[in-house]
Every structure is written in C-alpha cells, then in structure tokens.
Amino acid sequence: MEKRDWRAFKLYAITAVNYHPGRSMLEVMEQAILGGVDIVQLRAKDAPKEEILADARALRALTARYGVPLIINDHIDIALEVGADGAHFGQDDLPLAEARRILGPDAIIGISTHSLEQALAAERGGADYIGVGPVYPTGTKPGRTAVTTAYVREAAAHVAIPWVAIGGITLENVDEVMAAGASRICAVSAIVGSDDPAAVCRAFRERLSAGAGGEHTEEDGAVQAAFSVIVNGRSEETSARTVEQLVETLGLAGKSLVVELDGTILAREAWAETALVNGAVLELVHFVGGG
C-alpha cells in the first residue's frame, strides 16, 4: 500500500510492552493502526539489542502492510537495517547533523524537546518534526518534569515544522491539550495499555477531528465538517469538498496520479468539480519515475 504524506499525521503511537502483559507487541500495534494511528515508533529503552532488532523487523513488515511510517527510537543502525522511515532522538542522543548524515535526506528525523529553546534549535538544525512534552507526568518518562500546556502554547505560536504533543495524554485531558494549540498528539499508555487499542485510537481521532472544527472554504466562508472516506483501503477523515482538494491535502498535488472513485476512473479535469461524500471509496495510484 502506498504511504500517505506523513506530515499530515494526527495520531502517533509508541510501543511500550510493559503496558500490555500477555499480549504481543504486534497484536497491540496492529489494533492501534486499525484504529487510525498514522505513525508508529518502536521504543524499547531497556530491551536487549537483538530483541529490538527482531521487533523492528516484525514491525517493519506490519507497518509496510498498512502504509504507516515506522520510526525507530535511538537505534540508528537498526533503523537502517530494517529500512525504517526514520528515527527519533532525545536531547542527549546522537547529534541531529550526524543523524542526518547517516540516515540521508529522505529519512524522517524527530527530536524530543522540553522547551521552546530546544524546539527552535531542532527546527534550525533540520529536524522533520519534534515532540513537545511531557505535557503531563508520565510513567514512560519517570523523573521528567512535565512541561504543562504552557509549552504547548509556545510551540503553537512559534514552531513551523510539524510537532506533536506527548506525555501523559489521555482521552480525559486531550481536549485541554488541543485547546492549548496542539493538532497532533502522541499517546502511549492510553493506547497500548488499553484493552481495546483500536477503540481508543478511534476515540482520539474523533476528538482531534472535533477539535479541528472543520475548515473555512474560500467560496462561501461556510464551515465544512470533517467526514470519512476510504483511501486505498484506509479510512481517512477529511474536510475536503472535492477530489482535487483531497489530493492536495494528502500531499499528492502535481504527482503522476490515477484516481478511481467508487469504482470509476476519474479524469484529472474532473477532480475539481467532483464532490466528495461521506463513505466515498477512492483508489489513488501514484506512478513514480517511468513506472
């Protein structure tokens, strides 16, 4: 399955096997993906490296099947070995410039930040996205002082690259985080520690969509509420009114693309005039190079 533009992500999940004893990491993460997670990160700070490598290979196969980007925490060699989409580093890990040199220009590189100063430094250094947190105290970062929603507000006002609020975020407090300016969130224990990760992810996505409040159109200034369409077998929430707008929001404008809508190939000239409705089924085939 073709990957979507990762920059359009809303919900980010990280592995944490200690939160789901008796269930496999793959089982839990597949449920999270089916519930609507856009990016998956493999994080296993205390596991033996051989175990991390085996998990990375398995998770690479799973995420590739669903077209979801895979990010590896810390272990740049494992990221390269399994063909991950990128890597994530903390403030005390490999310098960003060195990570970029090793991973290459196309890799997605994320940096954890705990202050606006660190955020702006990561942005200047070429990070593709940053984590903003921990917003609340969290068991995944024991001893780390919560940055509170004050830092979320600063990030919303000053950070230009994609950023995701992280740390202790649950369905009970996500509205507060979004009210502070977050449009992307990462949850760990709330997702993987749930008995039903798919249901929790769907609930997060509903809250994120409701928080977005729709988009104003240039035509009439009305508010278009988000609705669901199926793109290449995956449910997408969108406020795009036409096929052309959907293609743009997926970052595919200008690409060599064939669009099939509800079983019918749609001429490019008709994209701008073809309305999308709730439940529409689209197949987008992107031709790369001479293929």
pLDDT digits (tens, 9 = 90+) for 107-136: 999 999 999 999 999 999 999 999 999 999
Q: Which amino acid does the sequence have at 291?
A: G
Per-residue pLDDT at 56 exceeds 70: yes
Residues 261 and 274: beta-carbon distance below 8 Å: yes
Average pLDDT over residues 192-196: 96
Using alpha carbons, select from 13, 36, 15 the residue that is nearest to residue 24. 15
β-partners of residue 41 are 14, 71
**C-beta of residue 217 within 8 angstroms of C-beta of residue 224:** yes
pTM: predicted TM-score of the whole model, two decimal places: 0.72
Average confidence score pLDDT of the chain: 87
Contact 86, 126 (CB under 8 A): no
137 pLDDT band, cuts 50/70/90, is confident
> Catalytic residue positions?
43, 112, 141
Residue 239: pLDDT band (50, 70, 90) is: low
Structure confidence at residue 144 (pLDDT): 76
Distance (Å, rounded) from C-alpha 182 to C-alpha 244?
Answer: 27
